[in-house]
Every structure is written in C-alpha cells, then in structure tokens.
C-alpha cells in the first residue's frame, strides 16, 4: 500500500485526474493518498471529489487533506508536485513587462524571460519541499509536474539529495499528432525521442519498421495539414527533425517566428484562431483561477468515477511497485551522459525504463549537431537561472535573460538589462534575494544613468 502525496492538490482537475489514474490500477487501489495545498477552499474541493471517487467505486484507498506540508510528506513513498507560486500577479508581470520591450511570449512559463522568472519564484518553495522530504521521507521519489520543468528539476537535484524526475505530456501528444499527419494508428508508431523539455526531437519514428519521416515531409506540402502545425513543420523543413512542443509554444524557443508581425500572421494555423497571439496561457490561467475560486463545486459527486488518462505518473508508480517494465520519456539529470553532447549536469528529456529496480535513463549518444546547438542555447540559460537563484547572484539572472534566443532577437543588451531590472523590482516579493557580486561589470549602467 504505497503512500502518495500530492503537493499543490488545489489544482482540482489535474489532481483528480491523477488520482483517478492511480486508483484505476488494482495494485494501487488501496493506496494512502494525501492531499496538501495552502488554499483550503480548493483543497476541500479536490478532497470531496477524491472521496466520492473512492466511495463510488468501492475501493480500499484512503484520502486525507491537510495544509500542513510536513504532515502530508511524513513517510511518503511518492510525492507528486504541481504547485504554482505567486498566482496571477507575478505571472502577468512576466508576460506584460517583456511585451513592452517587444518580446511577445505565447505561454511564457518555461522559456524566455517568463520562464526564467517563474523559475526564480518557484525554486525557493521547491527547495523547501525537497528539504522537508530529506527530513521526513528521504527515500521518496519526487514526480514534478511544475514548470519551468528543466529549471525546477535542476535546482532540486543540484541543491538537495532528493531523487526527482520531471513528467510532461508533450512527447505522447506529439506522437498523436504525427500519427494523424501520416495516417497511421498512434499505438503502432514506434519512436525514439530525446533533447530537453519542450525542445526534444523525434530522432526516429517508425511504422511497421519503416521510417515515417518521408511521409511526414510529404505532409508538409499538404496545405491543410501544414496549417495545423506550421512552426513544427518549418522546424522539420529547416533542421530535419520534428520537435515535441506545439507550434504555438515552440515559437517561443527559437528566434525565428515571434519577432515579426508579418511572420506571425503568415504562420497562422487552424488551431490558433486568427493568429499565434501573445499571452494565451495567461488569459486561460486567469479564467481558470476565477472558476476554481467559485464557492460552488461544479461536479456531480454521485457521478464521479475512476478513469485512466494518458499521464505518466500512475504508470510510473505502477511499474516501480509491481516490477512491470515500461518505457517513458522523463526529465532526468544527464549524469550518465544520456545525451553525450549536452552538459552532464543539464536536465534532459530522454527515454527511461522503469521497473521494480528503479528508473534507468537510456543513452541516445550524440544529438545531431544542429539539434544539440538549439538545446545547448537553452541549457545555458537554465544553468544561469538556477545558479542565480541558488547563489543569489543578480548578474547571472541578467545573463540568463540576455542569452535567451527570443529575447536576444527582439532587444538590445541594454534593453534586456533594463527589462530584467524591471522584472526583479515588480516580482521582488516572490524572488530569492538577488544582489550583484563585487564584479563591477555586473552593474551595467543604463543610458538614462549616463
């Protein structure tokens, strides 16, 4: 009977989906589930749905809810993290301040200035969670869903002894899309994927032993198909492989698509209404927050049942608990040189086998040099962001933003310096203390100071 703790369980829809996944396995249906959140109202809603799920299905699982994090973690075997630190205010700053400087972020939670600053405000709480785990459940596995994935996971394994893996659904979602584009059943598509979170690439994709890449390149020339995924088809055309993040989000990771209004309009896809707009995730987040804050629980508790989603968490736990071998794409440290031409302390997204003996990252060798270069740009940004947070080094935060591909395509170095200072000031309440070191080069004066 594993003990499974949810941190950030007030994210009701996501948390209850994952609970349903866990309870859908007979071997896990007697689990002890603990829900923790700092928002009592949202926590109560998740608790009510989880209780109804167990009662309606006649399961032996137990579920408890608490706002006491250490109590929720005590003796846990698995910890699922889905926190959001700060809510809407800092998120809006992370989108709107860069927008003033010409940096148009579609999502802004994993890359760009938005990703860097979301990481800065999330790392202190993540380290508090991990240090509590070191005290009360040191052998537990931390399954992280919180973005920015690579920054958060890297901070945890750099600063603590907790084993952490990052879980993201971009790989299976991309496999589903590719299968549609080349007209093959998704469950018959074999693939080998590696890179970093949201910037991994399908190194191989086969059906009946044959590569589907010729058909995928042919699909590029079909206007209807191309318009469903414009940016990813352009990446395929110019760099030879298909990436794992949606066109909307992928457009933020490279400097080619979001710095020119004509280009944005040209790359309009049928999935994106009139264009690939700025701040779509912020808008959705705000709307969902208002719904979650509603005093009424918009769920028929008598109808709640157990269903299994496509998320990895329950499958991973089931593999570890029952010695059932499975392969996943997970975010893990590159300590075993899973990707030989990325830094060995980077957080990489690679094939991982899981069974009763644990988690075993695979080696994919070297990425093609052009793909490795795209990923190296971001691993450098993430390293500086993590070091800036852990060391309180303001200059490294500046350098992380200045190295970001989208930011550097849109702004001058001086503009990026001013923007970063404005972001630090606006979100100071949520950030670790940040100071310039003694190095005089760090405190660059702006034009207004000259």
DSSP secondary structure letter of residue 71: H
pLDDT at residue 449 in the model: 53
249: left (phi over 0), alpha (psi -120 to 50) or beta: alpha
Report which of 109, 159, 149, 151 is spatially closest to residue 129, judged by C-alpha positions. 159
Catalytic residue (one of 169, 173, 221, 318):
169
The greatest distance separating any two alpha carbons of the chain, rounded to the nearest whole angstrom, comes to 72
3-state secondary structure of 80: strand
Q: Determine contact, residues 156/127, Cβ cutoff 8 Å.
A: yes
Report which of 93, 111, 396, 148 is spatially closest to residue 255, judged by C-alpha positions. 111
pLDDT at residue 259 in the model: 86
pLDDT at residue 66 in the model: 98
- Peptide bond preceding 280: is omega within 30 degrees of 0, i.e. cis? no
Helix (H), strand (E) counts: the chain: 18, 12
pLDDT digits 0-9 by tens, 71-103: 999 999 999 999 999 989 999 999 999 999 999
Report which of 369, 425, 373, 354 is spatially closest to residue 253, judged by C-alpha positions. 373
Q: What's the Cα-to-Cα distance from 255 to each of 96, 98, 117, 240, 404, rounded to whole Å?
A: 19, 15, 19, 17, 9
pLDDT at residue 175 in the model: 97
| Catalytic site includes residue 360 | no
pLDDT at residue 272 in the model: 43
pLDDT digits 0-9 by tens, 33-61: 999 999 999 999 999 999 999 999 999 99
Please give the model's pTM, rounded to 2 decimal places: 0.94
Residue 442 scores a pLDDT above 60? no
DSSP secondary structure letter of residue 55: H
pLDDT at residue 273 in the model: 42
Distance CA 175, CA 187 (A): 9
Residue 157 scores a pLDDT above 90? yes
pLDDT at residue 445 in the model: 56
CATH of domain 3-166: 3.40.50.720
Residue 124: enclosing H or E segment and its boundaries? helix 112-136
What residue ranges do the domains of the chain occupy? 3-166
């Amino acid at each position: 009977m594993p003990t499974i703790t949810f941190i950030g369980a007030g994210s009701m829809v996501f948390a209850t989906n994952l609970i349903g996944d866990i309870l859908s396995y007979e071997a896990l249906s007697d689990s002890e589930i603990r829900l923790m959140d700092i928002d009592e109202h949202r926590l109560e809603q998740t608790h009510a749905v989880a209780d109804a799920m167990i009662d309606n299905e006649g399961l032996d699982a137990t579920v408890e809810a608490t706002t006491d994090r250490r109590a929720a973690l005590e003796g846990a075997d698995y910890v699922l993290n889905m926190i959001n630190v700060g809510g809407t205010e800092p998120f809006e700053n992370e989108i709107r301040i860069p927008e003033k400087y010409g940096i148009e972020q579609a999502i802004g939670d994993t890359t760009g200035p938005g990703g860097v600053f979301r990481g800065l405000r999330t790392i202190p709480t993540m380290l508090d969670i991990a240090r509590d785990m070191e005290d009360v459940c040191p052998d537990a596995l931390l399954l992280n869903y919180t973005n920015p994935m690579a920054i958060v996971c890297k901070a945890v394994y750099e600063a603590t002894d907790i084993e952490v893996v990052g879980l993201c659904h971009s790989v299976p979602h991309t496999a589903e899309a590719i299968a549609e584009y080349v007209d093959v059943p998704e469950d018959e598509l074999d693939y080998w994927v590696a890179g970093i979170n949201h910037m991994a690439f399908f190194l191989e994709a086969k059906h009946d032993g044959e590569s589907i890449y010729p058909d995928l390149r042919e699909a590029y020339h079909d206007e209807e198909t191309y318009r469903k995924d414009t940016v990813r088809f352009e990446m395929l055309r110019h760099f030879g492989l298909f990436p794992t993040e949606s066109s909307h989000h992928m457009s933020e990771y490279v400097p080619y698509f979001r710095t020119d209004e004509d280009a944005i309009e040209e790359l309009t896809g049928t999935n994106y209404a009139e264009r690939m707009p700025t701040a779509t995730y912020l808008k959705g987040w705000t709307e969902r927050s208002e719904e979650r804050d509603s005093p009424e629980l918009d769920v028929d508790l008598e109808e709640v049942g157990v269903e299994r989603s496509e998320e990895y968490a329950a499958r991973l736990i089931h593999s570890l608990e029952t010695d059932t071998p499975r392969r996943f794409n997970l975010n893990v440290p590159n300590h075993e040189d899973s990707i030989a031409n990325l830094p060995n302390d980077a957080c990489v997204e690679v094939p991982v086998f899981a069974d009763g003996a644990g988690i075993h990252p695979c080696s994919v060798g070297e990425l093609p040099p052009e793909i490795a270069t795209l990923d190296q740009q971001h691993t450098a940004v993430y390293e500086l962001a993590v070091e800036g947070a852990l060391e309180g080094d303001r200059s490294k935060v500046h350098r992380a933003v200045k190295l970001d591909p989208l930011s550097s395509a849109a702004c001058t170095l001086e503009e990026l310096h001013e923007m970063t200072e404005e972001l630090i000031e606006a979100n100071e309440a949520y950030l670790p203390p940040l100071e310039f070191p003694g190095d005089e080069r760090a405190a660059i004066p702006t034009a207004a100071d000259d």
